[in-house]
Amino acid sequence: MKKSILWLLPILFIALLSFSGCEDEMETGSEDNPVDEQENGIDPDYDTEKVLVRVNGDEITQGDFDTYILQLKHQYEEQQGLDLDDPQHGDIAEELKIRAMNDLIEQRALVQRSEELDLTVPSSFVDQQIQGIIQQQGSEEEFESFLENRELTREDLEVLIEEDQLITAVYEQELDLNNISYDEEELDALYDRFVKQREDMGREPESFEEVEDELAQSLIQRRRQEVQRNYVENLIDNSDIEYFFN
Say whether pLDDT at 232 is over 90: yes
Kindly report which listed range (80-94, 125-139, 176-190, 196-210) carries the lowest average pLDDT score.
80-94
Q: What is the pLDDT of residue 226?
A: 95
Name the residue with higher pLDDT: 15 or 186.
Answer: 186
Helices 208-237, 90-116: crossing angle, 10 deg rounding: 70
Q: What is the pLDDT of residue 77?
A: 79
Q: Which helix (H) or strand (E) holds 51?
A: strand 51-55
Q: How far apart are the first and last CA of the chain?
A: 27
Q: What is the pLDDT of residue 7?
A: 41
Q: What is the pLDDT of residue 45?
A: 67
Q: What are 85-120's pLDDT values in tens digits?
A: 777 777 888 888 898 899 999 999 999 999 999 999
Q: What are 20-45's pLDDT values in tens digits?
A: 333 333 333 334 444 444 444 445 56
Q: What is the pLDDT of residue 119?
A: 97
Q: What is the CA radius of gyration of the chain?
A: 21
- Eight-state DSSP code of residue 181: -
CB 82 within 8 A of CB 92: yes
Name the residue with higher pLDDT: 23 or 51.
Answer: 51
Q: What is the pLDDT of residue 66?
A: 83
Measuring CA to CA, how many Å separate 193 from each of 9, 31, 180, 201, 208? 32, 42, 22, 12, 12
Select, from the ranges 13-17, 37-41, 129-133, 157-161, the one with the highest average predicted confidence (pLDDT): 129-133
Q: What is the pLDDT of residue 90?
A: 74
| Backbone φ, ψ for residue 58 (5° rounding) | -90, 130
Q: What is the pLDDT of residue 63?
A: 86
